Amino acid sequence: MTGAGVLPGQPRGVVTSGPATARAVNVLAPNASPMTLDGTNTWLVSEPGSDLAVVIDPGPLDDAHLRAVVAAAERAGKRVALTLLTHGHPDHAEGAGRFAELTGTKVRALDPALRLGDEGLAAGDVVRTGGLELRVVPTPGHTSDSLCFHLPADRAVLTGDTVLGRGTTVVAHPDGRLGDYLDSLRRLRSLAVDDGVHTVLPGHGPVLEDAQGAFEYYLAHRAHRLAQVETAVENGFTTAEAVVAQVYADVDRSLWPAAEWSVRAQLEYLRDHGLIPGRPE
């Protein structure tokens, strides 16, 4: 993740474990860092009155955290019936195998390598468990396997790392691609404009109350960064490392390695569109 400033989107503020919407409860993982912000938000989602729940992104391989997720479900009188993954990065998915052992659940993901069981996830799928409805939204870009989950009953979308509650995310080149990411942001914006989504339940950081504002900010931020990268190249800074030093000079240097992923994705995008000379590195 790049940058730590509060983005538009009406963030709620302090990130804590507990209810976020009528159907979604956060169990915050103890893995805070510059890259993971306050830690990974593990989402426990269920229909009110149902005794079944779905867990989205069990988080890191931390047995105490995984047991805390199970305990949160049990306190609510629910049994975890299914585990879903937004993508395969370890801070979201590394604990999935152990969590499956603790709960006896299958794990569904876009990437077959992350699945436990025969069923995966794909664009247009609707996951129904205990009366709950989650719609699978393909959002590649941060990674090639990134997904979001539309929770229509709460007018909410669970975004994993595609949109964060604070700062902005990286395009994890070469697996992540900027063109895909921009398309994904537009797809999310259409959920806000056309489908009434107003709440973002992110993989890191606080809940956002203004989904459309958040998505439009992300699109504007990407356009701004792309223009900065193009200008840096025109001024003779042609390597990813040199561009990062120019464009991300105001960002904590500990985040520069992650920023370099995004810059490589931006350089590839500019070259592919004929906006700068050369071929992608």
pLDDT in tens, 241-262: 999 999 999 888 999 999 999 9
High-pLDDT (> 70) share of the chain, %:
96
pLDDT of 190 strictly over 90: yes
User: What is the model's pLDDT at position 13?
Assistant: 85
Q: In the numeric block, which tokens belong to residue 54?
A: 């779905």
The CB density around residue 257, as the number of other CB atoms within 10 Å, is 12
Collapsing DSSP states into helix, strand and coil, what is residue 137? strand
User: Which of 52, 6, 8 lies closest to 209 in space, CA to CA?
Assistant: 8
Contacts of 63 (CB under 8 A, 6+ apart): 98
Which residues pair with residue 23 across a beta bridge?
Answer: none
User: What is the model's pLDDT at position 2?
Assistant: 38
145 close to 113: Cβ distance less than 8 angstroms: no
Contacts of 196 (CB under 8 A, 6+ apart): 155
Taking only the tens place, the pLDDT of each residue in 25-66 is: 999 999 999 999 999 999 999 999 999 999 999 999 999 999
Task: Give the side-chain half-sphere CA count within 13 A for 29.
Answer: 28
Collapsing DSSP states into helix, strand and coil, what is residue 207? coil
Q: In the numeric block, which tokens belong to residue 151?
A: 């929770």
User: What is the model's pLDDT at position 279?
Assistant: 57
Mean pLDDT for the stretch of residues 105-115: 97
List the catalytic residue out of 57, 62, 91, 180.
91
Return the CATH superfamily for domain 18-212. Answer: Ribonuclease Z/Hydroxyacylglutathione hydrolase-like (3.60.15.10)
9 DSSP 8-state letter:
S
Cα separation, 32 vs 247, whole angstroms: 26
Average predicted confidence (pLDDT) for the chain: 95
Written as one string, the DSSP assignment of 76-135 is TT-EEEEEE-S---HHHHTTHHHHHHHHT--EE-SSGGG-BSS----TT-EEEETTEEEE
Mean pLDDT for the stretch of residues 156-180: 97
- Beta pairing, strands 79-84 & 107-108: parallel
Cα separation, 176 vs 167, whole angstroms: 18
163 close to 202: Cβ distance less than 8 angstroms: yes
User: How would residue 8 be classed by pLDDT, with cut points 50, 70 and 90?
Assistant: confident
Mean pLDDT for the stretch of residues 223-233: 97
Asked if omega into 277 is within 30° of 0 (cis), the reply is no
91 close to 36: Cβ distance less than 8 angstroms: yes
User: What is the model's pLDDT at position 281?
Assistant: 45
91 is catalytic: yes
Amino acid at residue number 275: L
